[in-house]
Each structure stands twice: as structure tokens, then as C-alpha cells.
Structure 1
Amino acid sequence: MPYSREELDFLLSNDQAVTYAADLELSAASELKDLTALQKLFGQHARSLVELTRSRRVASRKIDSAAQWLVDSPSAQQATPSPVARFRSKNLEDLGVEWVADVTCSIGTELAHLHQAGIHAVGADLDESRVRMASHNVPECAVVRADALRPVVDAPVVIADPARRGSSGRIHRITDLMPPLPELIAAHKGRELAVKCAPGIDFTVLSQWAGQVDVVSVDGEVKEACVYTPGLQAEPSGQLVRRAVVLRGKTCLVLSSTLPYESDDAAAAGPAGRYIFDPDGAIVRAGLVRHLAHRHGWWQLDPRIAYLTGESLPGDGHSEDIRAAGVRAFRVEEAVPLKKLKAALTARKAVRLEILVRGVDVDPDQLRKKLKLKGDKGGKKEGTGWSVVITRIEDSAMAFICTAL
């Protein structure tokens, strides 16, 4: 819950109280005891201390240095993860960008990473409490209160993060963003823009003004699509470039639509090889599955489905190489029609099962219950866990019993 002006005044001027609250457990079991102690010591400010402590703990999972930042629950949930902001800042630095205005800066995540990259950054936000929190969190950067549609900073490059959730859930249409993307573009005409959008954005609506869209994932979870105007294209091409940015630990894979790929459906697919690969969600959403296949000499099981297959693993086949290639890899042990899956798993005494599905109307949890696997009645559990990849090949539902690598 956002802070009132009085609560922010208290948090900014009472480090001892903030430190005291940070040491509390604040679990479901200890909440009443902890809250009573805070109320006894700090009266009406107990609520803001609990809010700050819990929000910092949430934010620390995604933001560097969040343990010392001012943050509330909404900003902790909405904040751009540090790996994503770090990549964007490095990307802008490589393009020679020297000055940026973040016109929806919130608590300052982007500002912090822009500053670390040596880029002069100024923040703006319409919410007064966000402005105060960002000023505290990133004192190296100036932060002003301003409407994103009424620019007050004349920077040549603008970063914006319109609200991507409304009362009905996640927003995918650019006209429904807050502020709407067309209005944002018009307000900053003549400047280069980097606008964060939902990963499911329709790329076809971007072609008239965008030069590049980066779909970014962190540790297998797709976080955002960032749309750049043509002047911020990493690979100038005269057309919209789609990139998948896969961030996993210290590795970074960038795939681009400018890379070669097999355009013919018949040539792009073939029978299952020794391995099946499940591409990272950023690669799938950026429409670069075939580009990844071309890079490694793989092919699709079906031209309509994102699963890839091949006879070789990426790199030397180590787990680090597989992750860095932006895929999960599975060694195929057996392929059966879906209706014969239970018999095949029973013969293998399967008890633990991971189920992956594309292109077939199957709910993994319901299927797992329906299979009623009992495993080895003798109690031996070794080797009884499998991964099952279920997909449609032409008009048939197939199941591949695999060992996950």
C-alpha cells in the first residue's frame, strides 16, 4: 500500500526505527507480536514500517540494493528486474547514448543502472511519493514530478514504462496502456524512445514507428517487450527487428530476426532426433524458433509447434552450454501415441513425472491424475522419474518419454 506524505517523512528521518523493523521476522506466526511491539515503540507509524520491511524483502528478489531502498508493495511488484534494466543500460551505452529521461521512473530502478553505465539520467513521475522514493534511492540523479505526456526534460532519449495492468488484468493493446502508446509517441516526437510493453504485444502494430523490439526473459521467465524507435536499433536494417534477449545467471543470449532461418515449412520440420529442445519463452514470443534451429542444425517436430529436435547438443553438451543456448534439452527414450502413454510409463515403473505440452489440449495436472502411476511396488525409486513432451505432429498427438538434461 502506498505511503502517505507523513509516513514518508517518518521513514526518511528515522533510520533507527527502519533498522529495528528490518530485524523482525514478520511471518504469519509472529505478525501479531511484531506489530504490537512496533505500535508500542512507534505508534501510528507501525504500518509503514511493516510495509517497508516486507516490500524490501520482495524487491530484493529482483532489484540490486533494494534492502536499502525506499519501496512499497505496488512499486516492488511493478519494478523492472535489475538484470533487465542492466541489459538495457548497456545496450544504450553501446549505442553511444549519453543522456536519458526516464519519464515513468517510479522508485528509480532504471535510473540506478543508467547511472552505473555512465549515462546522465533524469527521472520523472506523476506520483509524488514515487518521486521522493526515487530521489532517496538514486541521489545521483535528479528526479522531478511531471506527467509523462507533458515532457519537462529535453533529453534526446526517453525511457517509458506505461502501466501494463488494468482492472481486468494484463494489457496487451497499445491503445489501452496508461498512458496509451500512441499518445506517448506523439508527446515525445523528435526524440528516440524505449518503451516497455507486455511480452504479448502484437508486433504488427509497431511497424509504422518502431525499429526494434526486444523480448526479454530472466531465468526462463519472460519479463517484458521493450520497443525502440529506429534511432536505437542495434542492427540498422530499415525494417522492424525482433530480438530475443535470454538472461540466465551471468549468461546473455541475443537472437535477432536478421539471422538466417528456414522459411519453408516442409524443410523446417522432420522426424524426432535424439534430443528435443524447448526454447526459452523470449525466443518463442519473438518468433525466432527457426532462427535458433538454423544456428544449431536443428529442426521442428511440426512446423506449427515451437519444439525443436536434433542429433546434437549445443556446445560441448554441458548443462551450462544448454542453458546458454536458451533451451531446455531432453534426451528421447521412447515415442508413443498419446493414448498409449500410460502403458509405456507403467512398463518403465514411472512414479515421478514432468509433463510439457504444446499444441495439444491436455492439462498436465489432470493427465497426471488420470495416469495413476504407481511405480515399482518393490519401493525402488531409482530411475523412475521422467519428462514427457506432448505435442501435435501433423494430425496426431504424440508423447515423447525423455530424460531431462
Structure 2
Amino acid sequence: MSYAFSLDDVAFLRSREGGAALEACSGLDLTESSRLSDVAAARRVVGARYAAAVLETLLLRRKAGDKVDGGCRWLFTDEALQQASASAVAAYRAKRLAGRDVHDVTCSVGADLVELARTARRCVGSDVDAVRLAMAEHNCAVSGVRPALVRADALRPVTRDTVVVADPARRDASGRRRWRPEDFVPALDDLASVYAGRELVVKCSPGLDPQVAPWAREVEIISLDGRVREASLYSEGLATASRRATVLNSTGEAWSITDAEPDDVGVDEVGEWIVDPDGAVVRAGLVRHYAARHGLWQLDPRIAYLTGDTPPPGVRAFRVLESGRYSEKALRAALRRHDVGRLEILVRGLDIDPDALRRRLKPRGANEVSVVLTRIGRAPTAFVCRAERVPAQRDAEQG
């Protein structure tokens, strides 16, 4: 179980003495095997009262890694760090609200609040948890922003005429995920009811069924570095499309696609390349729109793999070397022909475990290939490919 910070802990960690203790203990291993020696070392530095708070803070700062910009100086709770938006995602969402008066009504330790404060005309953060609010005050200060902070229940409005941003808690006291919107804290329907008529943005899981939020006029699915991170629900005054996929990466590049774009694409035989669209595009139901943008077509109308003779710039695509009806025997023979020893297996539409299949195939050659397994119509089909990173172009995508 993670450590339960107190207000006294936070005050100590923010003090000069606390900063010195954190610095003195920063070189500890903080592993399972070093736990006893780490605790003993921390107690020698700071005494028993604050040793656990110091060790937990150092551990959480390491976990924050590249997720939170400047996180090596932040204060976290374990649950708050788990739910915090990556800084790149929070910064992107904040840009959509730039120049507005914004109130983050579930600000927690400030991962979204810091970025909102950088772009908003005026910014307020509130939370019902006094410990997290104290951590947010520290995190905002070390990040160079100073939004107004107030302790308040998200369901008891304390501002008017602001854009409301909410990130309901989606884990229970034991750390297990809550999947039903009525079990979120605060519940999704309660947020919509309390802020009816206000401009509202709610961050939620990318797997959430949009039908449970009829007030939302736009659902945006966001990925970062190839991993789908979260969804944002926007009320009518903020929506610019019904469905949007936004793809971010750590280098600062970003592009979006919406359902306002054309989706008139055909279904045909495989071209020179196979393209596996980013997960945000797939989750947002914009595979055909993405295909139309890049001159691709579908292999099967129910499968997300796309194909074409020129892949989109900047993506990792799969140059087709050969293809045919899938069977393990036929695939094993194809791998021998290509002298394959290193094998990546991608699967859509077939009940195949890639890891188990790789173990059975036992490739032993000198070359590396990617095998795309999918269903075309009713036929299981295998494509033996060479994965290549297509050079990016500055104007490749229109956001």
C-alpha cells in the first residue's frame, strides 16, 4: 500500500530542512532488495517521523520520469501520479483553451493545472483533498505559475463564467479501476448536471463509451508516442468536430484528424505497403478518414489495416515482401525463404497469440521481418513485410 501523506508531511517536504533531506537521500537505490537499508539511511538523515515521506517522494519522482515536466522537483501521491496527464497531453489540451478563464475543479497535484495556467487568461484550481491542494501549490510554484487555489468540492461551483475542466477519479480506495461513469468521483452525470449551461471539458478513459455522455459534442482521443493515453469530452461551446484523433510525440510534433474530413475510400488488393494507423485514429473511428487523407485504401472494410503504394510521412510502415493465405506451415516456409531469425508479429481480426506463435515458429535465420496477420473476407491472410520508418515532412499533416 502506498504512503498516506499528511499536511505536516507536505509542509516538511517544502521546507529548507525537507529539501536538504530529499537531496541527501536522492542517491538511494529505492528497490525492493534495498528497502531495509534505504529506510535505515533515511532515518539517519531525517529521523523516523519523516523518513517514509522522504522515501515515497523520491520514489514517485523517479516514477514520474518523462511523464511530468520538472517532476523531479514535484510532490505527488501515488494515486495522483497514476492519474496525472502527461505534460505533453496537458499542454496540448491547454492550448485549446488558451486565452480563456479556466477553472480546474479537480486539480489534484496540478499536472493539468500547471499547463492551463500557462495559457489561460485567468486560472483557478480547486480540489477537495487538502493534501493534494498543498502539493499543487508547491508544484505550481516550482513550475513558475501561480493560479488561484481554493479548497472546494467539484460539485459545489465556486466560480462563474469559466471553462470548467474536470478529471474524475477512476480508482477506488484499493487502487482498482472504476469502469462505470456513475462510479467516477465525481460521477460523470453529476458533473454534467452541476455545470449544465457551462463550457465543460472532462478527461476520461479512451475506452469510455461516448453514449454515456450525451452532453458531449466532441470526443477527442489522444495518443502520445504511439500509446493511446486518454479521451477528452467537450461541451457544445468548445467542440469543433464530433470525433477527433490527436497524435502527439515527445519531440513536440502533433497532428489531428476529424470526422469532418472525407472518408470515401475503397477496398482492394494489397499495395506496396501496409499501414497500421495510430491507435488514436482507430479508437476515434477515423480509419477511413485517415486513409482518404493519405491516398490509402482498405484491405477489408472491417479491419483497421490500410494499404497503398506511398505510406504517410513520419510513420512506421510495412513494405510487403510476399503474401498468401495464412497457415503455420506456409508461414514457416516463408520465413525459411527469407532466412528470418528476428520476427515481429502483428495481428488484427484473428484469434492468434503473437508470442505463442513466435515460440512455435522458432525462427533461426539472419534477417528480420514483420508479419502482418489478418482476415480478408473470411480468409486468414499473412503478409511478410519489412518495417521501415518513412521520413517525416514538416507539412505532412494538417491539424
TM-score (norm 1): 0.89
Aligned length: 375
Pairing 1:164–2:170 present: yes
User: 113, 118, 121: which one pairs with 1:119?
Assistant: 121
User: 5, 8, 18: which one pairs with 2:7?
Assistant: 5
Unaligned runs of 5+ in 2: 389-399
Superposed displacement of residue 172, structure 1: 4.2
User: 192, 203, 223: which one pairs with 1:196?
Assistant: 203
Which secondary structure does the structure 2 equivalent of 1:279 belong to? coil
Tell me the residue number matched to 2:391: none
Superposed displacement of residue 33, structure 1: 2.7
Which secondary structure does the structure 2 equivalent of 1:50 belong to? helix
RMSD over equivalenced CA pairs, Å = 1.7
User: 45, 53, 56: which one pairs with 1:51?
Assistant: 56
Contact 1:80 1:109 in 2 (8 A): yes
Tell me the residue number matched to 1:41: 45
Unaligned runs of 5+ in 1: 236-240, 315-320, 376-380
Tell me the residue number matched to 2:103: 101
Which secondary structure does the structure 2 equivalent of 1:2 belong to? coil
Pairing 1:330–2:318 present: yes
Contact 1:174 1:181 in 2 (8 A): yes
Superposed displacement of residue 156, structure 1: 2.0
CA distance in 2, matches of 1:304, 1:366: 25
User: 182, 188, 200: which one pairs with 1:175?
Assistant: 182
Tell me the residue number matched to 1:258: 260
The 5 A counterparts of 1:150-161 are: 150-161=156-167
Superposed displacement of residue 336, structure 1: 2.1
CA distance in 2, matches of 1:301, 1:172: 33
Summarize the Cα distance change of 1:250–1:301 in structure 2 as closer, same or farther, 3 Å threshold: same
Between the aligned residues of both structures, percent identity stands at 46
CA distance in 1, matches of 2:195, 2:147: 21
Identify the range of structure 1 (53-62 vs 173-182) with the bigger mean alpha-carbon deviation: 173-182
1:201-232 C-alpha deviation (Å, 9 max, x unpaired): 212333x3112111000001111110000100
User: 344, 355, 360: which one pairs with 1:365?
Assistant: 355
Tell me the residue number matched to 1:318: none
Superposed displacement of residue 17, structure 1: 0.9
Tell me the residue number matched to 1:349: 339
User: 396, 401, 404: which one pairs with 2:379?
Assistant: 396
Pairing 1:61–2:66 present: yes
The 5 A counterparts of 1:306-321 are: 306-314=304-312, 321=313
Give 1:103's aligned amino acid. Answer: V
Superposed displacement of residue 28, structure 1: 4.2
TM-score (norm 2): 0.90
Superposed displacement of residue 190, structure 1: 2.2
Give 1:351's aligned amino acid. Answer: G
1:224-263 C-alpha deviation (Å, 9 max, x unpaired): 110000100235xxxxx1000000222101000110112x
Tell me the residue number matched to 1:280: 278
Which secondary structure does the structure 2 equivalent of 1:74 belong to? helix
1:53-102 C-alpha deviation (Å, 9 max, x unpaired): 01011113201111111112222211110011100111111xxx421110
Contact 1:171 1:198 in 2 (8 A): no
Tell me the residue number matched to 1:378: none
Give 1:330's aligned amino acid. Answer: F
CA distance in 2, matches of 1:178, 1:144: 18
The list of structure 1 runs, each at least 4 consecutive aligned residues, that deviate by more than 6 angstroms after superposition, is none
Give 2:244's aligned amino acid. Answer: R
Tell me the residue number matched to 1:374: 364
Give 1:366's aligned amino acid. Answer: A
Summarize the Cα distance change of 1:341–1:168 in structure 2 as closer, same or farther, 3 Å threshold: farther
1:290-323 C-alpha deviation (Å, 9 max, x unpaired): 0000011101111000000001122xxxxxx323
CA distance in 2, matches of 1:55, 1:273: 47
CA distance in 2, matches of 1:66, 1:107: 11
Pairing 1:222–2:224 present: no
